[in-house]
Amino acid sequence: MEKQKNIKHVVIIVPPYSTLLDTCGPMDVFQRAIDQMKLLENRVDFTYHIHVVSTTKARQIPVSSGISIVSEGSYKNITYPVDTLIVPGLPQKTGYQVGKDVLAWLKEQSGHVRRICSVCAGAFMLAEAGVLTGKKATTHWMLCEKLAKNYPQTTVDPEAIFVKDGNVYTSAGITTGMDLALGLIEEDLGKSFALQIARIMVLYLKRPGNQTQYSTVLESQQIDHQPIRKAVEWIYDHLQEEITVEKLAEHTLMSPRNFARVFARELNITPIKYVEKLRLEAAIRYLTETHLTTDEIAHLCGLKNSTNLNRLFLHTFEVTPTQYRRNFQTSFSR
């Protein structure tokens, strides 16, 4: 007779008009984990059980895409011990207000559950409930300033994919709920299992929590100031070279001092720090998409040698380039 496995109840509490993927993304990741765990038979002594509950009395929950999802009912009807509690994005434009009873319940649960998590703007629900007080957290990069302003007792990281502080986990925008779910599964079942789930779901790679939310190149494409935009384009095409403020200023026909001032005003970062971020992102692509050596990658990114590449990765990710590659290289690396 097969031994009955322990159940880790994963509860997603959904407010009306939130983004569908905030809920379905983590759900699908955990469901794939359940399917894979069945193949392991008795090698894992637990399984997950996924629950979707509503912040209201209604079983049908309308979401922002215009459809509805069917829940088990209100969070008030929960009778099982919650292991992991996930809060999807709180709608920002509908004027929907979460009831004080829901906030009180979230605060109470944060002291009992093993993990309490938010996806995207769900961080605002946790913050309003007092769960993020004194904590480090993140949310969608477009909302980080608002979160920091409205809840000054929370330290907001505007770049992280997801942040863990104690038993509180917050993630950035929409699809990062899937990254967070993979991270939670990795905690429970190990890195190789989580990577297997990522491969099954045809995710490009399993992103670490401290990877930046958005591309530096993509962000800089929004610049209207033509001389600075010209400088950014030149940097991207000449990463292998030694890049100085003086050289960049020369290409834009500006004085070094004025160039540095205008660059920082337009991009909220110094030219040298910007170059470093571009080189880091280029190195990440080479590590995860190719089989080039770390010395070759360092040369292509303008970092001269693997020692400098190691120093940059240890400072940013607290892992070496080789460890990063081992953790996140895709199956289709060239």
Residue-wise DSSP of 14-67: E-TT--HHHHHHHHHHHHHHHHHHHHTGGGSSEEEEEEEEESSS-SEEE-TTS-
Which residue's entry shows tokens 């001389």?
227
* Percent over 90 (pLDDT), the chain: 54
Q: Which residue has the higher pLDDT, 171 or 333?
A: 171
Q: Per-residue pLDDT tens for 252-285?
A: 889 999 999 998 988 888 999 999 988 988 898 8
Q: Which amino acid is at 239?
A: L
Q: Which residues contact 285 (CB under 8 A, 6 or more apart)?
A: none
Which residue's entry shows tokens 């409205």?
150
**Which of 80-94, 174-188, 190-204, 300-314 shows the highest mean pLDDT?**
300-314
| Nearest to 86, CA basis, from 123, 61, 58 | 123
Separation of alpha carbons 215 and 217, rounded Å: 5
Q: Per-residue pLDDT tens for 3-35?
A: 567 999 999 999 999 999 999 999 999 999 999
Separation of alpha carbons 169 and 148, rounded Å: 16
State yes or no: pLDDT of 71 exceeds 90. Answer: yes
Q: Is the pTM of this model over 0.85?
A: no
Report the first-to-last Cα separation within the chain, whole angstroms: 48
With bands split at pLDDT 50, 70 and 90, how would you rate the model's confidence at 329? Answer: low
